[in-house]
Amino acid sequence: MSRAYQLSPSILSADFNRLGEQIQMIEKAECQWLHIDIMDGMFVPSISFGMPVVKSIRKESSLYFDVHMMVQDPERYIEEFKNCGADMITIHAETCKDLAGAVKKIHETGADAGVAVNPDTPLEAVAEVMDQVEMILVMSVYPGFGGQKYIPESTEKIRELRRMLDGKGLDHVHIQVDGGINRTTIDEVLAAGANIIVAGSAVFNGEIEQNARELQEKIRLCSKNGVQFTRHQ
């Protein structure tokens, strides 16, 4: 199966006074994914937004909702976020007492499942569920704030993860990278093996539609025709 490549713009960097309008710009740029960061003020110091925002934008958008839960004990909210419109629910290995159980719970709701690791968390933390998820997210900054610089050591971590997945025959599992992605660092993470690219400031600062198209063109150079994720109805 060919690998799907996607840009997933992060609304954490959007202007919330114009959120609906800016999501429409993303759609005009022919993006298919939207990255939605949920922060609880416990696992990360910041608080972002929750179910009401996801439910509200779901009414007006057909994008694939890539919901990243930076939340302690995320099992508490999995079903609610699916009901609000999440298509992919990504949880952090650092926040779950039973990671495999949480992944199973995500799948039971009908959503796709992702697991994430922070920059200082080894990939071994998600090894047990690599064959049970649709995506693994490598954080290339410390989570909690937008606009941070890419951590260079993340590149080798992405390479290692791709080697691990390929070695297990799991080349269909997507590798997402989130943090410090811009027109320069995007080439590095794509070359390392990532195929789902989260970008916040690089999309929403300035001309949104143009930014998204330029980043997508870089991704397109690395892409192959194949299976693309679509919304769960």
Regions of the chain with pLDDT less than 70: 1-3, 146, 224-233
| Per-residue pLDDT, 182 | 95
CA dist., res. 2 & res. 184, Å (int): 25
34: left (phi over 0), alpha (psi -120 to 50) or beta: beta
Helices (H), ranges, the chain: 19-28, 51-58, 78-84, 99-109, 154-167, 185-192, 201-204, 208-222
| Per-residue pLDDT, 224 | 57
- Give the active site residues: 37, 178
| Per-residue pLDDT, 226 | 38
φ, ψ at 44 (rounded to 5°)? -125, 155
CA dist., res. 68 & res. 16, Å (int): 18
pLDDT digits (tens, 9 = 90+) for 94-152: 999 999 999 999 999 999 999 999 999 999 999 999 999 999 999 999 987 767 899 99
What is the token pair recorded at 34? Answer: 């939207």
Residue 205 contacts by C-beta under 8 Å, 6 or more apart in sequence? 13, 211
Work out the burial of residue 148: count CB atoms within 10 Å of its CB; fewer than 13 is exposed, 13-18 middle, 19 or more buried: middle
| Count of other CB atoms within 10 angstroms of residue 36 | 27
What is the token pair recorded at 213? Answer: 């198209």
| Per-residue pLDDT, 227 | 38
| Per-residue pLDDT, 146 | 66
Q: Is 143 helix (H, G, I), strand (E, B) or coil?
A: coil
CA dist., res. 176 & res. 72, Å (int): 21
Residue that is written with structure tokens 């998204």 in the block: 212
What is the token pair recorded at 59? Answer: 């009414």
| Per-residue pLDDT, 228 | 46
